[in-house]
Amino acid sequence: MFTVTRFLHNPILSPLREHSWESAAAFNPCPIIQGRKTTLVYRAMSDPELLKEPHIRMSVIARADSKDGVHYENRSILISPDADFDRYGCEDPRVTKIGKTYYIFYTGLGGYPFSVDNIKVAVALSEDLKTITEKHLVTPFNAKAMALFPEKINGKLAALVTVNTDRKPSDICFIEFNKPEDIWSADYWNEWYKNLDEHKLNIRRRLDDHIELGAVPVKTDKGWLFVYSHIQRYDRPDHVFGIETLLLDAQDPKKIIGSTKGPFMVPEAYYEHVGQVPHTIFPSGALIRGEHLEIYYGAADSYGAVATIPLDSLLNGLNINMNNQSPLRRFKGNPIIAPRAGVLWEARGTFNPAAIDLGNKTHILYRAVSDDNISSIGYASSSDGFSIDERSNKPIYRPRLEFELRGCEDPRVILIDRRIFMTYTAYDGIVPRVAVTSIGSDEFLKKKWSAWRAPEIITPMDVDNKDATILPEAVNEKYLVFHRVHESICADFIASLDFSREKITRCIEMLSPRKGMWDGLKVGISTPPVRTPKGWLMLYHGVSWSAIYRVGAILLDFEDPTIVLARTAIPFFEPEEDYERLGSIQNVVFPCGLVVRGGVVYIYYGGADSVVGVATIKLVELLAMLKI
């Protein structure tokens, strides 16, 4: 698992009005390291030429240099549309240096109106990335993106190319060349095309997805890392541009040995939403700098931008996805709590448990649903964190007031000043809202359940609000309550823990769904925050379009816990076992409790809204996922 951090100085490329050739857009950059400087080769687009027919925005391939990787200057045209195969534009370069020669592949537009017959791959050669020595048409058929591997593989030049980009469905394919001249040999390509299916990388998940080559592959000690574009539901209004990654075998790049299961980037930043083509991100370059992978991409077909990923975290995440070697370990005795025969108050499910470590025991407070579909809170305890030593015969907390007559759901518990505060969802049958009660820790350990204080509703009427918890320490003499409003995680500061007076009145939005990703439909708090050396660690659940509940993590700032320092790009926990996939609600893992013992994180969760399970992960491994 890993995090993605957009560059603080984004966008690094923007259109310059003083350059007519890039007055409309400067995007889809491909980086090349030249000594101590970074050179970007990118697509630049003009405003329409009103005195010429047709009135189109003309694209050229431009270049710019930077000494610090932040500020780019000396911008100039590198490749102009001056051949029959690119007379209407040169788009989206990918640059590879082999020996002393730079191979600059780009999309050549050879006719207008644009069609499958005139959109093809071209290549320009240069010795210095300033002067072009020769240009060639590469593919005799429709194709739009190509990149050479930066070294020969098994003695041959090798490349990836997107074929039938405009015919649909597109495919990313592998090709080898015996010599450079084969690259622009129509005969060579036509022979290769006869067996096209043999060359395809099998990565499309749905027939209506669109895939396209992104960056030049970069070599790692685990294989070739390849960043590409995967557009979901391409022909629909709700399509999503996403960036994904493959790990290819070092000696046989047609073999996929690692992958992300979905996009790890979708449009989020303002410069990705506003431009010539709104809500668009498109990867065009990648390089390894230090311990990070830098991904260069176009934003809204207008700007150039960069995002970084810790390389080791990314590679470990890819291997986990392919080999199922997650650092998360489910207890082999799961589920640890399930409905008991004949116990009517938990007949329909025992799930979504809170947990707290007190008196050398883990105390588990779980949601129980009765035969008449009303939720209450049950109790169990464990000395080792796994096996249940004790379990209540009756609910330890049940609906008492009008606002919770249909149930007390999904508890979270924290300890502040020898008092346990329990937040939960109070449901009256119409609108779920957040309620809070508390009990002294001594009374809790003595199981004096009658000592629970009368609950208080703390969220507004008529607003769907769930998944609440409290930061277990004061911040600048105030307390922070986390809650979920509609699809997003919010927070609000309160002056005290007297909830007869303190209410939530606003939503400081902290975390929102990432459309098209694993958490694209809604997000909600899973477990209360715990203090770590890196920041406040909090788990959250995300729901996808396919209604699968998965779990990610965020790291919050100590000084201002409403600031998210890091967020996992992909989930580290998702439904796999039968008790997580099959139940009252299918495909759900839903933690509400987390305990740290001896450097190990114990995660207590509901499986398929039916049972309770426990999984463990080392704290250092979980924090490593949040490295930025």
- Write out pLDDT tens, residues 449-462: 999 999 999 999 88
Cβ-in-10-Å burial (0-12, 13-18, 19+) of 47 comes to: middle
Per-residue pLDDT at 438 exceeds 80: yes
**Cβ neighbours around 288 below 10 Å, total:** 14
- Write out pLDDT tens, residues 517-570: 999 999 999 999 999 999 999 999 999 989 999 999 999 999 999 999 999 999
Residues 317 and 391 in one domain: no
Residues 265 and 355 in one domain: no
Residues 318 and 338 in one domain: no
Q: How confident is the model at residue 625 (pLDDT cuts 50, 70, 90)?
A: very high
Residues 477 and 613 in one domain: yes
Q: What pairs with residue 102 in β-bridges? A: 97, 126
- Write out pLDDT tens, residues 133-188: 999 999 999 999 999 999 999 999 999 999 999 888 899 999 999 999 999 999 99
Per-residue pLDDT at 401 exceeds 60: yes
Please tell me the distance from the alpha carbon of residue 503 to that of residue 298, in angstroms, as a whole number: 44
- Write out pLDDT tens, residues 11-46: 999 999 999 999 999 999 999 999 899 999 999 999
CA distances from 550 to 32, 210, 462, 518, 520 (A): 38, 25, 28, 7, 11
Range of the domain at 113: 5-323
Hey, what amino acid is at 317? G
Residues 367 and 238 in one domain: no
**Average pLDDT, stretch 208-214?**
94
The candidate with the shortest Cα–Cα distance to 121, out of 81, 86, 88, is 86
**Average pLDDT, stretch 379-388?**
98
Residues 285 and 383 in one domain: no
Q: How confident is the model at residue 53 (pLDDT cuts 50, 70, 90)?
A: confident
Please tell me the distance from the alpha carbon of residue 233 to that of residue 444, in angstroms, as a whole number: 52
| Domain edge (last residue) among 275, 299, 323 | 323
Residues 124 and 208 in one domain: yes
Residue 456, both tokens: 């208080």
CATH number, domain at 273?
2.115.10.20
CA distances from 492 to 18, 464, 500, 503, 562 (A): 47, 16, 16, 9, 9
Please tell me the distance from the alpha carbon of residue 262 to that of residue 248, in angstroms, as a whole number: 17
SS3 sequence of 332-387:
CCCCCECCCCCCHHHCCEEEEEEEEEECCEEEEEEEEECCCCCEEEEEEEECCCCC
Determine the pLDDT at residue 352.
98
Q: Considering its fold, how many domains does the chain have in total?
A: 2
Residues 82 and 107 in one domain: yes
Hey, what amino acid is at 182? D
Per-residue pLDDT at 272 exceeds 90: yes
Determine the pLDDT at residue 208.
87
Determine the pLDDT at residue 326.
84
Residue 488, both tokens: 């997003």
Residues 307 and 379 in one domain: no
Residues 315 and 449 in one domain: no
pTM of the predicted model over 0.85 = yes
Position with higher pLDDT, 236 vs 554: 554
Residues 301 and 348 in one domain: no
> What does the mean pLDDT of the chain come to?
95
Percent of the chain at pLDDT exceeding 70: 99
Residue 474, both tokens: 């004061």
Please tell me the distance from the alpha carbon of residue 527 to that of residue 590, in angstroms, as a whole number: 9
**Average pLDDT, stretch 365-375?**
97
| Domain edge (last residue) among 269, 295, 323 | 323
Per-residue pLDDT at 324 exceeds 60: no
**Cβ neighbours around 611 below 10 Å, total:** 23
Residues 160 and 183 in one domain: yes
Per-residue pLDDT at 263 exceeds 60: yes
| Domain edge (last residue) among 274, 300, 323 | 323
